[in-house]
Amino acid sequence: TMPSIFSYQSAEVDWCEGNFERSTVIAEYYNTVRTTLFSFLLLTPLNFLVLEGRACARTEFCSYKLSLSLVGIFSMYFHMTLSYVGQLLDELSILWTLAVAYSFWYPRVYFPRWIKSRKHFFWLSGVTTVISTLMSFIKPAFNAYALNCIAFHLLYLTWCELKKCNDKRVHRMAAVMVVWWVLAISSWISDRWLCGLWQAINFPYFHSFWHVLIAMSLLYCCPLVIYFDVNYEMPSFKPKLGYWPSDSWPVVVPYVALEEPHKQC
């Protein structure tokens, strides 16, 4: 009989870490714990502090915060159960989080010519995401590869924006973001394609590293996206990248400060 879609280990994907080795109720212990304690409980709240001031209360930020929180919850559930439903919730929450980010923050200068407003682009993003959601049920094992490919488009957009920007802080933050992403995707690919090697040396934990590293990359990606968005959508403000508590600290939280230029009478 076909296993229940909510049953443990009913997912099409199983990562390299051994199942139920450290707990009778958690399938992938390290993937679950590192997702929960580091990515969700620590780095996700830090992403909420990316922008100073009242601007962070805008609708798009609230939507992004909610979707990012759901990614953490569903990822934890998936790795805890390895269920088919958990897999889809994990992957689709990432898809919809990307849709939110694209809908609100994709620069107008890159809109297709037949898109005349942000509202039109919002509907285009929504329809595309709904279609992608339906297609994701056809072969869920391919979903993760497709989602990772979106990163290349984001990197291309970052490169296009960096060509217009002379701020060394922006270039530095982009470089750090890319380094974290390269480490993250290398860990993901290693876990997926070299699992036999890591199991042979009893170190099948690279997917748990992926969670930590991609969260670190996201911590630097969010301020960059907001910085470019402010330049386009809030021209009365001058965005400035900063690091809390200090630039000189080895461990910092990047953020965007908004400086309103003085207007001459």
Rounded to the nearest 10°, the torsion over CA 202, 209, 92, 79 is: 40
CB 52 within 8 A of CB 244: no
Instruction: Please report whether residue 19 resides in a domain.
Output: no
Instruction: Please report whether residue 264 resides in a domain.
Output: no
> What's the rounded mean pLDDT across residues 184-213?
95
Please tell me whether 262 is known to bind a ligand.
Answer: no
pLDDT at 1 over 70: no
pLDDT for position 254: 87
pLDDT for position 265: 39
The CATH number of whichever domain residue 56 belongs to comes to 1.20.1070
Which residue shows structure tokens 């595309």? Answer: 128
Please count the CA atoms within 13 angstroms of the CA of 200 that sit on its side-chain side: 4
Instruction: List phi, psi (to 5°) of 202.
Output: 60, 45
Please tell me whether 14 is known to bind a ligand.
Answer: yes
Q: How many domains does the chain have?
A: 1
Please tell me whether 21 is known to bind a ligand.
Answer: no
Instruction: Please report whether residue 21 resides in a domain.
Output: no
Strand partners, 243: 254
Task: Please say whether the dihedral angle defined by the alpha carbons of residues 99, 105, 111 and 115, taken in this order, is positive or negative.
Answer: positive
Instruction: Please report whether residue 6 resides in a domain.
Output: no
pLDDT for position 54: 45
pLDDT for position 15: 96
Cα–Cα distance, 171 to 173 (Å, whole number): 6
Please tell me whether 202 is known to bind a ligand.
Answer: no
Please tell me whether 28 is known to bind a ligand.
Answer: yes
Please tell me whether 79 is known to bind a ligand.
Answer: yes
Instruction: Please report whether residue 136 resides in a domain.
Output: yes
Rounded to the nearest 10°, the torsion over CA 206, 208, 209, 213 is: 140
> What's the rounded mean pLDDT across residues 243-260?
81
Of 75-84, 154-163, 217-226, least confident by mean pLDDT is 217-226
Range of the domain at 239: 29-259
Instruction: Please report whether residue 232 resides in a domain.
Output: yes
Please tell me whether 143 is known to bind a ligand.
Answer: no
Write out pLDDT tens, residues 26-35: 999 999 987 7
CA-nearest of 153, 138, 148, 37 to 102 is 153
Instruction: Please report whether residue 4 resides in a domain.
Output: no
Instruction: Please report whether residue 197 resides in a domain.
Output: yes
> What's the rounded mean pLDDT across residues 14-23?
95
